[in-house]
Amino acid sequence: MLQKLNRLRRTIKDKVTRLSKTAESYEPPATPEESEIILNQKLLNVLELIAHMKKLLADYLYLPESANLEESLEIIYTIEEEIEDLQVKFKILLNKHSKPPNAENVQMTVHKPKLKIPDLPLLEFSCNYEQSELFKTQFMSIIGINEILNDTKKLCYLKAALKDDAKLIESTQDTFQSLL
């Protein structure tokens, strides 16, 4: 089994060496589109090598402890570093030789700020009728009167507080006011 893994490791190392030579001696073709296609394919090959290395490492680690793996693992870690370097090289080449975006083909994206809900102590409600008024009072005093939170954020807190049977009553049509 160890011999088989070592052969596989050497095969992967050979592929890394070939891709490295390709990256170092890369001459872009006539058009940026061709260059982009070629470099994307090389980058996909690098990503496949990463997957193969992860599987190979896992296979080595499943070998019995009696197998001396120090040298093999050291070689694997070195190859992984070489693959990471290759990935960076191909990404740099791709950025350098691909078609520059112009105003016509750049998609406009609007970045909305990510919703960060402040850390507040959450209560839990599980449809226990005796606790419903206590839950509502505590929830409103912590979340309901918080002016920083809009109704959507308050609804997120409320849905997070619902447990067990109470969780079953929620729907996609819920609003903060409808659940209170």
Cβ 76 vs Cβ 53: under 8 Å: yes
pTM of the model: 0.52
Cβ 100 vs Cβ 38: under 8 Å: no
SS3 147: coil
How much is the pLDDT for 78? 92
Portion of the chain with pLDDT greater than 90, in percent: 18
Residues 6 or more apart whose CB falls under 8 angstroms from that of 153 comprise: 115, 117
How much is the pLDDT for 6? 87
Euclidean distance between CA atoms 155 and 142, whole angstroms? 13
How much is the pLDDT for 103? 47
The full set of domain ranges for the chain reads: 1-97, 111-179
Cβ 90 vs Cβ 43: under 8 Å: yes
Cβ 42 vs Cβ 23: under 8 Å: yes
Q: Is 164 left (phi over 0), alpha (psi -120 to 50) or beta?
A: left
Euclidean distance between CA atoms 12 and 20, whole angstroms? 12
How much is the pLDDT for 18? 93
How much is the pLDDT for 160? 72
Q: Which of 19-23, 118-122, 152-156, 164-168 has the highest mean pLDDT?
A: 19-23
SS3 146: coil
